Amino acid sequence: MRVVIAEDQALLREGVTALLREYDIEVVAHAEDAAGLLRIIGGHKPDLAIVDVRLPPTFTDEGVRAAIEAREKHPGLGILILSQYVEPAYTAELLATGEGGIGYLLKERVGEVRTFLDAVHRVAAGGTALDREVVAELVGSRGPSGEAAALESLTPREHEVLGLMAEGRTNAAIARALVVTLGAVEKHISNIFTKLDLPATDGDHRRVLAVLAYLRAGGDA
C-alpha cells in the first residue's frame, strides 16, 4: 500500500509516518499544505491520502477542500481525513464525492493503533471509516425530515447496527462488536432496509443508501 500524508505539524507528520512504517505501510511522500498535497498525489499516484483538515495558509478547512478536489481528479483515491473536531457537515461533503474509500477520524484515534490501522486498510480498499464520535453525533441528532422520521422508527438495536454500518464495518465485524450471530445482524439490516423503504436490488448499494439517509438526517436536519 502506498500512502501520502498532508499534515503541517512536523510532530504528527513524523509520528504517523513512523507508525505506518512500523506496520509495513509505505509512506511515499509528505506535504505541508493543500497545493503540496495535490502535487504529490499527481506525482505518486498513492492508494490513500491521509489529510489534516486544517492546513496552511488559512488553517480552516483547506484539507477537506483539497481532498475533494483530489478525488475529482483521481477517482478511486482513498481519503482519510484526520481532524481535531467532529464535524458531520464535512462527512456529508466527502461522501458526496463518489468513488473510493472515505475516512474521517479524530486525530487522537491514531493512538488506538489497531483501530487506526484497520481504518487505513479499509479506506485504502475503498471502504468507509467514520469516527464513532461523528456517528454518535449523527445518531443523536434529530430533525423533521421524512428520513429522520423513518430513522426514528428503528429500534435501539437497529440504530446501533446502522451506526456500525456507517463506521464502515462489515456484517461479521458488526456481529463481533455486538456479540451476536451473523444471522442476527443480517436480520437487523434487512429490517433497516425495510423501514427506510430501500428496494431489494443490489445489497451493497442499499447499504450505502441506508448510511447516506442516516448521514443526511444528521447533516441537513
Amino acid found at 88? P
Intra-chain end-to-end CA distance of the chain, in Å = 38
Residue pair 43/37 in contact (Cβ under 8 Å)? The answer is no
Q: Which of residues 132-191 bind other proteins (CB under 8 A)?
A: 137, 140-144
Q: 43 or 146, CB closer to other proteins?
A: 146
Q: Is 48 helix (H, G, I), strand (E, B) or coil?
A: strand
For other proteins, which is the closer residue by CB, 154 or 189? 154
Candidates 40, 64, 35; CA nearest to 51 is 64
Per CB under 8 A, 54 contacts other proteins: yes
Site string for other proteins, 84-123 (x = CB under 8 A): xx-xxx-----------------xx-xxxxx-x-------
> Rounded to the nearest 10 degrees, what angle do helices 88-95 and 132-140 cross at?
100
CA pair distance 168, 28, nearest whole angstrom: 26
Output the smallest distance, CB 51 to other proteins, in A. 15
Nearer to other proteins, 30 or 107 (CB): 107
In whole angstroms, how close is the CB of 204 to other proteins at the nearest point?
28
Burial of 203: CB neighbours in 10 Å, binned 0-12, 13-18, 19+: exposed
CB of 48 to other proteins, least distance (A): 18
Contacts with other proteins by CB under 8 A lie at 9, 11-12, 15-16, 19, 22, 54, 59-61, 84-85, 87-89, 107-108, 110-114, 116, 137, 140-144, 218, 221
